[in-house]
Copies of this chain bind each other. A is one copy, B any other.
């Protein structure tokens, strides 16, 4: 592959560098005849433009960072999946940045991305998003956040309606006859996590029952602890809402280890709608977040903001996914 630069194509096509450049990046500025000739020649040579050189000059690249706390968490994995797809549908390359919840790391990623002229970035927060920090780096660079952001409307966001989701779960459980319904938190301290918890507290109170928070931790062991707590109770709830699917898995697993069966002894419902849930034992009933949509929309929002500067806050509707981990209350 004799180094293929724009100049060799230019020479081969008998035109100037700049014309070749335009043929590729501003087709309407080149006589169609010439353009086609150039493209044909380039094709024949197997030439493609160097994204690096382009980025250097244009000061904007096609690399977009996706910042997640933990790719091992299937929620973020599914997000990453749809985002890579959405990204390369539009010619972007997704750069995976895993912070492990360390804000210092995400700072590092931001500067790196700035240096790479990323046109924007997507942040799936592990902790409440600090808009100040964002601003400090985002600098010209735009960011869209997959979470609610407190007191700052200047950053586009996409979320799902937490309250609605919890309501769906609660209604489903009520319709099965459950009245005593526990809650296990478990995602990191994001606004979304907060919102779900608040919604649970509020809606439970509204329906006249007593809220039972089995665990309000924010790590992966919340599920295990929640289950332990449950097992120690004198009068445990008959159903449990888990703040997310991973926690639900942990709850069911821990319960199972103590001989409790789901849904026979307790009903458990998750929140996320992970594909994995369908192959859990039992298949997990859950509130589905439209993750695929979130990914696409996040990128759209970013592009939109880049274009006309508009800042949107999209709130998606969750959906109940009834599988096998909840059942009619029998007494």
Known A77-B74, A80-B71, A81-B70: A250·B223 in contact at CB below 8 Å: no
Known A80-B96, A95-B93: A115·B50 in contact at CB below 8 Å: yes
- Give the residue of B61, B78, B80, B281 whose beta carbon is less than 8 angstroms from that of A281: B281
Please indicate the chain B residues that have their CB under 8 angstroms from the CB of A253 in the complex: 278-283
Which residues of A from 80 to 123 have beta carbons under 8 Å from B? Answer: 80-81, 84-85, 93-98, 111-112, 115-117
Known A72-B74, A72-B275, A78-B72: A53·B50 in contact at CB below 8 Å: no
A319 to B108, CA, bound (A): 36
A322 to B77, CA, bound (A): 27
Residues of A within 8 A of B (CB): 1, 48-53, 55-56, 61, 63, 66, 70-72, 74, 77-78, 80-81, 84-85, 93-98, 111-112, 115-117, 139-140, 220, 223-224, 246, 249-250, 252-253, 256-257, 262, 275-276, 278-283, 324
A94 shortest CB reach to chain B, Å? 5
- Give the residue of B56, B77, B78, B115 whose beta carbon is less than 8 angstroms from that of A56: B56
A153 shortest CB reach to chain B, Å? 24
Cβ contact within 8 Å between B72 and A71: no
Cβ contact within 8 Å between B52 and A139: no
Please indicate the chain B residues that have their CB under 8 angstroms from the CB of A97 in the complex: 84
Cβ contact within 8 Å between B56 and A324: no
Known A51-B115, A279-B249, A281-B253: A85·B98 in contact at CB below 8 Å: yes
- Give the residue of B78, B111, B117, B250 whose beta carbon is less than 8 angstroms from that of A279: B250
Cβ contact within 8 Å between B249 and A280: yes
A93 to B100, CA, bound (A): 16
What are 17 A-B contacts defined by CB distance under 8 Å? A48-B111, A49-B115, A52-B116, A74-B276, A80-B96, A84-B96, A94-B96, A95-B96, A220-B279, A246-B279, A249-B281, A253-B280, A257-B282, A257-B324, A262-B281, A276-B276, A281-B281
A114 shortest CB reach to chain B, Å? 8
A98 to B139, CA, bound (A): 29
A72 to B76, CA, bound (A): 9
